[in-house]
Amino acid sequence: MGSGEWCLQKRDTRGIDSFSGNESVPETGSLSIIVLGASGDLAKKKTFPALFNLYRQGFLPPDEVHIFGYARTKISDDDLRNRIRGYLVNDASPLEDVSKFLQLIKYVSGSYDAAEGFQLLDKEIEKHEISKSSREGSSRRLFYLALPPSVYPSVCRMIRKYCMSKSDLGGWTRIVVEKPFGKDLDSAEQLSSQIGELFDEPQIYRIDHYLGKELVQNLLVLRFANRFFLPLWNRDNIDNVQIVFREDFGTEGRGGYFDEYGIIRDIIQNHLLQVLCLVAMEKPVSLKPEHIRDEKVKVLQSVLPIKDEEVVLGQYEGYRDDPTVPDHSNTPTFATVILRIHNERWEGVPFILKAGKALNSRKAEIRVQFKDVPGDIFKCQKQGRNEFVIRLQPSEAMYMKLTVKQPGLEMSTVQSELDLSYRQRYQGVTIPEAYERLILDTIRGDQQHFVRRDELKAAWEIFTPLLHRIDNGEMKPIPYQTGSRGPAEADELSAKAGYVQTHGYIWIPPTL
């Protein structure tokens, strides 16, 4: 197959290929997707556009699927459609497709803790099931909680009591919950128990959208399908690993939410830690979701307690100007935290997790830096170390920084790269949005890219002591300028941990 033909081949919500490790049986019949919190930011920016993309690719056949928006705001079906229309229209999506998709959406208004709204919702779903499932009769109900976590318990209770799939011809009820799932170990465990009393683990999809990103999904393939990496991926060869998230904008209208959580809960404890798991875990027995998640849990459980001196916190100047942020907020908008994994493969290798808002660039990447060459005869250290960089976004790519002979008559060396830039290599291929992929997984019943309860617990165990110290004001963020690299102390910490910056070399994404 040529590179241009590399694309999502299956246009079917039924069983998936064995590569995923999931052996689900083909499913047909009515599928109801209910977006709770439909009036909100996530729903309009991510959830509905992802559903639209799935619809356009044929994964949500209109003779089976209906979409329901649910929230307290009193609006009509058309009001909701008009709110989201602007997020669907683009050069690639004909207006006709947008209109047809919007006609699949119905809006139900109700509260998150009273029977009335959910009874009404159930009636509407049933109406649709009767009209659409005459062929098969099964009832599949997917509830997407695009809501603040504070209402998860009551919403789950209402769904359990009034809105479960009732068909005895087959089907299921699944719920998707967004992060942040809790604020610390105790609150997360409490939330898990509350939801766990109502739904079984296979019905609960804890979404972390970083697990749906193309290059994050590529990590297991890279690591375990390439002989290159197998012998190198360990403490004997790797000096340090950085996992970095940068945004070049601030909290922008989400200050109220953000101030309660801060950058560690918003990005590091979930997104970056999930990436760390995939970089550091051992080879799973198979690609079955439970086998993969078993290995991720082991990594998390091997992380040593974080040391105060291996943390730098920052807060961008101007953050507190947001009227929804308290004047004396101690919330970090930047953090560098070093995690150390106590096992045979990684003992002594620092995993430097760095995330920040209002910085000088927007990117997310994994940077695996190798040790210096022993017995170096070329003065390679002057050029810089070998690095394997996986650019998650923007401009998805992976490149290996390596030392080569400078072309020409002289025998001198220079830093260069082996570069796999997706836009160039896979021309014409649209990389699916993370949410699109993950919603499709929930329909297919594939939990591989979702966070299991014990994983979540282990993740909170790592960060809770540090978070409590920050919450109690025992650790203070250092102010940094908007548009900067963050506090200089963070770079100093990375250097102290062993990271050697290459000077005079910049990777430039190739253009077509």
Ligand X SMILES: O=C1O[C@H](COP(=O)(O)O)[C@@H](O)[C@H](O)[C@H]1O
Active site residues: 271
Q: Taking CB under 6 A as the rule, which mask of x and - marks residues 362-401 in contact with ligand X?
A: --x-------------------------------------
DSSP SS3 for 25: coil
Choose the one of ligand NDP, ligand X, none that binds residue 13, judging by a C-beta under 5 to 8 angstroms depending on kind.
Answer: none
Choose the one of ligand NDP, ligand X, none that binds residue 151, judging by a C-beta under 5 to 8 angstroms depending on kind.
Answer: ligand NDP
Output the six-digit token pair for 89.
């229209």
Measure the CA–CA gap between 54 and 58, rounded to whole angstroms.
6
With CB under 6 A as the contact rule, the residue among 31, 50, 67, 71 that binds ligand NDP is 71
Instruction: Write the DSSP string, 252-297.
Output: TT-HHHHHHHHHIIIIIIIIIHHHHHHHHPPPPSSSSHHHHHHHHH
Which residue's beta carbon is nearest to the bound ligand NDP? Answer: 40
259 is a site residue for ligand X (CB under 6 A): no
User: Quick check: 366 and 399 in contact, CB under 8 A?
Assistant: no
Instruction: Go through 408-430 and write b for each residue having 16 or more CB atoms within 10 A of its CB, e for each that does not.
Output: eeeeeeebbbebebbbeebeebe
State in angstroms the smallest separation of the CB of 71 from ligand NDP.
3
509 is a site residue for ligand NDP (CB under 6 A): no
147 is a site residue for ligand NDP (CB under 6 A): yes
State in angstroms the smallest separation of the CB of 180 from ligand NDP.
6
- Between residues 87 and 507, which has the closer beta carbon with respect to ligand NDP? 87
Task: Using DSSP bridges, classify how beta strands 171-177 and 139-145 pair: parallel, antiparallel or unpaired.
Answer: parallel
Query: Residue 456 to residues 274, 307, 366: CA-CA distances in angstroms?
Result: 10, 21, 22
With CB under 6 A as the contact rule, the residue among 15, 40, 170, 498 that binds ligand NDP is 40
Which residue's beta carbon is nearest to the bound ligand X? Answer: 266
Choose the one of ligand NDP, ligand X, none that binds residue 266, judging by a C-beta under 5 to 8 angstroms depending on kind.
Answer: ligand X
- Between residues 264 and 341, which has the closer beta carbon with respect to ligand X? 264
Beta-carbon contacts of 295 under 8 Å, excluding residues fewer than 6 positions away, are 277, 281, 282, 283, 284
User: Quick check: 83 and 47 in contact, CB under 8 A?
Assistant: no
Taking residue 65's Cβ as centre, other Cβ atoms within 10 Å add up to 23
266 is a site residue for ligand X (CB under 6 A): yes
Residues 98-127 that bind ligand NDP (CB under 6 A): 112
- Between residues 83 and 209, which has the closer beta carbon with respect to ligand X? 209
Output the six-digit token pair for 223.
């690591």
Choose the one of ligand NDP, ligand X, none that binds residue 149, judging by a C-beta under 5 to 8 angstroms depending on kind.
Answer: ligand NDP
481 is a site residue for ligand NDP (CB under 6 A): no
The one-letter amino acid at 86: G
Measure the CA–CA gap between 54 and 144, rounded to whole angstroms.
15
Binding site for ligand X (CB under 6 A): 209, 247, 266, 364
Binding site for ligand NDP (CB under 6 A): 37, 39-43, 71-73, 112, 146-151, 178-180
